[in-house]
Structures are given as structure tokens and as C-alpha cells.
Amino acid sequence: MAVGTVLVTGGTGYIGSFTTLALLENGYDVVIVDSLYNSSQVAVDRIELICGKRPVFYQVDITDEAALDAVFAKHPEIDSVIHFAALKAVGESGEIPLEYYRVNVGGSISLLRCMERHNVSNIVFSSSATVYGDATRVPNMIPIPEHCPIGPTNTYGRTKVMIETVITDHIEAQRRNNQKAGKPYDHWNGALLRYFNPCGAHPSGIMGEDPQGVPYNLLPLLGKVATGEREKLQVFGDDYPSRDGTAIRDYIHVLDLASGHLAALNYLREHKPGVKAWNLGSGRGSTVFEMIKAFSKVVGRDLPYQVVERRLGDVLDLTANPALANKELKWKTQLTLEDACADLWRWVKNNPKGYRQEPPAELLEA
Ligand code: NAD
Ligand code: WQD
């Protein structure tokens, strides 16, 4: 019998597909809802190829509350939700803010309403380190702890802060109402997981990030330079006050991130803490130049780059202090930057068209 059944919104997306895999590998059943706005249903096949179990999949938009409700009604065994579905392009969020608030905030409210109607009371939410904004504006906040003041610098980040607030208000109200009704233990629980910079792919080389649009994150772009799809990487600024002048990020392997979700879900089920935020990062910061070097090493040659102006809205340093998650969730990253680079390169090199092509037979047989 399954340990539990988890509804995963955005489960065919990058982080959602890896978390679905981790859940299935650890005895959970999974029901995915995803609109396929930024992903492919092929991810479901790859999950099954790797672990031998298939999640249930529905093509549902989370802003369609009736359709979402029907999924809960059809699966009364759902006892928890991991909520990934969102729009996530920082630049685009400033151009079409209403759409970002409608999908990210509106979709989350619909989801919470469905959960309430169907008595599902555990939610793990995909937040982001972007909620902290420029943490260097506050003294002594690098590496960034959860109590670092929030201060997002873009619309996407503000949607994440709003959803954190909606979830927190809802859960605290539920607790108060249950206490009044004499049911103090019958309350909701929420994990607000603030991820730093997810990267990497599955070591099998058959599962990885396959966005529908043009990538804008550092490692996927380095992958395109390595395959020759792009001539060179543009380095956004080498005049930051860092060890080599380029900005610092905390890159976390997507497999470690997925296991962080499992740890958070198990913690909610065992400890019923109410609502709480945890950073999911390695605690180790790397500069852009260090990333170019690490990726060039696995590719086996120097990758061309050119230093250009700083990118608008970028900050100097986003390195996590993951001590709280290490202690409470008994979780910490296991994989290195080198693992992430090697796994990403295996994925990119073998699947230049992502899920739009079959992987090489030798990888499928392995
Ligand atoms: P992704 O785009 O690969 O996954 C998101 C999934 O949600 C996609 O499969 C997409 O089709 C789906 N989706 C979008 N709108 C939907 C809707 N209205 N209804 C149903 N499904 C919808 O992105 P990801 O990198 O896997 O990110 C997952 C979550 O983690 C997002 O909430 C994102 O904001 C958050 N996050 C991502 C990063 C990152 O760098 N990748 C960092 C921090 C937080
Ligand atoms: C990393 C570093 C760039 C591209 C974004 C979102 C954040 C989160 C993760 C969702 C930066 C530099 C990049 C390039 C470069 N997503 N860079 N040349 O900006 O840290 O975070 O993704 O929640 O909210 O903002 O990630 O991968 O874009 O950049 O020099 O072509 O690489 O300046 O220092 P970022 P990134």
C-alpha cells in the first residue's frame, strides 16, 4: 500500500517531474495536474522508464477551479499537495504582471479552495530565494537565513511573497477556527520552500529540463553554447565586489531539491508544525566564472564567453544558509556542482531536442 497520495501541480515541469520521481521511488502515489504550458507529457513516460511506476496525469489548468475540483473528487485518496504550477520568467513577469498574478496567485487560491472542500490539509509550496531580493542591503545576511527581511525586486518574486502570505493567513485561520471548535490537532500544515538556483538533470541522461521557450538561466545557456546552438555566453557583469567580479549564486542539483520536497512533506505529516519556511540550498556560493569553468571541464574544452553589462535586477549574492532545513528536515544536499554539470551535459548532449526526440538506445538500455 502507498505511504500516501500526493497531488503534484506542475508535475511535468522541471522540478515537479523530479519530485514526482522521488515520491514514487519512496512509496507515494502521485496524481499530476499540469496545463503543459511549459512542459511535455513525455516527462510522465520518462518517470515510468526510470522507476517503473507511472503517475496519474491530468491536463488541467490550476486557474480552472471546476476542473481542479473534479480531480480531487475523482481521487479522494489525495492527502497532500505539492504545488509547483506557476509562470516563472522574471523578465516576462514585468511585462505581463496581471497574467502572473492571475496564474500564480489566483491559481494558488483556487487550489487552496479545492483542498479545503476535499479536506486535504498538507501543502508544500515552491517559493524562491527571489523573495529575499538583494540580501546584501541588510548587514550580515549572507549566507541568507529564513529570517532575512523579504524584499522582492520583480513581479514574479512578488507573486511568490503573496502566495506565501495567502497560505500563511489561511493556515493560521484554520488553526484558530479548529482551536475554537475544540479540534486543536485537526489543522492545516504548510511548507514554504525557498529554492536557490536549481540545476542539473537525471544521471541516466533521459530526464532533464525541457522548457518550451528560450532559456535564460545560466546553466541551460551554457549547455547551448556547448552544443554549438549558441556562439558564446554573455557574462552579465564582472564588476561585482566578489572574488572574481561576477555574481554569486547557490546552485543546487535538482535531485537534491526533489529529496528536499520529500523531507518537507514527511516533516509536515509527522510534526504538523502549522506553516513554516525553509531554504533549500547547498550553502555554497559559486561565481559565474566558476560555473563556466566547472561546465567547461565536463565538456572537455573552454566555452567561449563575453563580458557584457550587468543584467537589470540582478543581485550580487544569493547564497543560502540551509541550517534550518539541515536540522529540522534532516535534509542536506548530497551532490556537488561537478555532479550537476556532468548530469546536465549528459542530458543536453544526448537530447538536443529535449523530449521532442527519443534518447539514444544505449541510454534507454542502461
Ligand atoms: P517549469 O516551468 O518547468 O514547471 C512549472 C510547471 O507548471 C510546467 O510544467 C507548466 O506547464 C505548469 N504550469 C504553468 N502554468 C500552469 C497552470 N496555469 N496550470 C497548470 N500547470 C501550469 O518550472 P520549474 O523550474 O520546474 O519551477 C517549478 C516551481 O518552482 C515554480 O513554481 C517556480 O516558480 C519555482 N521555482 C523555480 C526555480 C527555478 O529556477 N527553476 C527557482 C525557484 C522557484
Ligand atoms: C545566474 C547567474 C546572472 C545568464 C533566476 C530567477 C530566480 C530563480 C532562479 C525562480 C546570475 C548570470 C545568467 C547569462 C549570466 N527562479 N548569467 N549570463 O537570476 O540567479 O535566478 O532563476 O524562482 O527567481 O531570478 O538565475 O540562471 O538567470 O543567473 O552571466 O546568460 O548567472 O547574472 O548572476 P538567477 P540565472
Mean pLDDT score, 14-24: 98
Lowest mean pLDDT, pick from 178-182, 206-210, 317-321:
178-182
Band of pLDDT at residue 366, cut at 50, 70 and 90: confident
Band of pLDDT at residue 301, cut at 50, 70 and 90: very high
- C-alpha–C-alpha distance, residues 42 and 209, integer Å: 12
Q: Which of 100, 156, 240, 251 is catalytic?
A: 156
Q: Encode 2-21: b = buried (16+ Cβ within 10 Å), e = exposed.
A: eebbbbbbbbbbbbbbbbbb
Is the CB of 156 inside a 6 Å radius of any atom of ligand 1?
no
- C-alpha–C-alpha distance, residues 206 and 50, integer Å: 9
Residue 236 Cα: closest atom of ligand 2: 30
Residue 16 Cα: closest atom of ligand 1: 26
User: Whose CA is closest to 121, among 72, 62, 68, 65?
Assistant: 72
Please tell me the number of the ligand nearest to residue 195's CA: 1
Q: Which protein residue's CA is at the shortest distance from atom 30 of ligand 2?
A: 235
User: Whose CA is closest to 146, among 132, 134, 130, 158?
Assistant: 132
Expressed in angstroms and rounded, the spacing between residue 78 Cα and the centre of ligand 1 is: 21
Amino acid at 250: D
Expressed in angstroms and rounded, the spacing between residue 84 Cα and the centre of ligand 1 is: 5
- C-alpha–C-alpha distance, residues 174 and 116, integer Å: 10
What pLDDT is attached to residue 211? 77
Is the CB of 128 inside a 6 Å radius of any atom of ligand 2?
yes
Q: Quick one: what percent of the chain has pLDDT higher than 70?
A: 99
Pocket test for ligand 1, best of 110, 124, 126 (most atoms within 8 A of CB): 126
What pLDDT is attached to residue 365? 83
Tell me if 343 sits within 8 A of 220, measured CB to CB: no
Dihedral of alpha carbons 37, 71, 110, 281, sign? negative
Is the CB of 280 inside a 6 Å radius of any atom of ligand 1?
no
H runs (alpha helix) in 182-235: 218-227
What pLDDT is attached to residue 67? 98
Is the CB of 158 inside a 6 Å radius of any atom of ligand 2?
no
Predicted ipTM? 0.99
The string of pLDDT tens digits covering residues 152-194 is 999 999 999 999 999 999 999 998 898 898 887 668 999 999 9
Is the CB of 247 inside a 6 Å radius of any atom of ligand 2?
yes
By the 10 Å C-beta count (0-12 exposed, 13-18 middle, 19+ buried), 102 is classed as middle
Residues 6+ apart with CB under 8 A from 362: none
Is the CB of 192 inside a 6 Å radius of any atom of ligand 1?
no
Q: Which protein residue's CA is at the shortest distance from atom 27 of ligand 2?
A: 217
By the 10 Å C-beta count (0-12 exposed, 13-18 middle, 19+ buried), 298 is classed as middle
What is the grid cell recorded at 192?
514554504
Is the CB of 236 inside a 6 Å radius of any atom of ligand 2?
yes
Amino acid at 265: L
Expressed in angstroms and rounded, the spacing between residue 314 Cα and the centre of ligand 1 is: 20
Amino acid at 51: C
- C-alpha–C-alpha distance, residues 266 and 259, integer Å: 11
H runs (alpha helix) in the chain: 14-25, 42-51, 65-74, 90-95, 97-100, 107-117, 155-180, 218-227, 254-271, 288-299, 323-328, 337-350, 361-365
Expressed in angstroms and rounded, the spacing between residue 27 Cα and the centre of ligand 2 is: 34
Q: For the chain, what is the mean pLDDT?
A: 96
Prediction pTM value: 0.98
Expressed in angstroms and rounded, the spacing between residue 128 Cα and the centre of ligand 1 is: 11
Is the CB of 285 inside a 6 Å radius of any atom of ligand 1?
no
Residue 331, SS3 per DSSP: coil
Please tell me the number of the ligand nearest to residue 83's CA: 1
Note if 28 is an active site residue.
Answer: no
Lowest mean pLDDT, pick from 79-88, 158-167, 261-270, 351-360:
351-360
What pLDDT is attached to residue 187? 83
- C-alpha–C-alpha distance, residues 282 and 263, integer Å: 15
What pLDDT is attached to residue 289? 98
The string of pLDDT tens digits covering residues 323-333 is 999 999 999 99
What pLDDT is attached to residue 279? 98
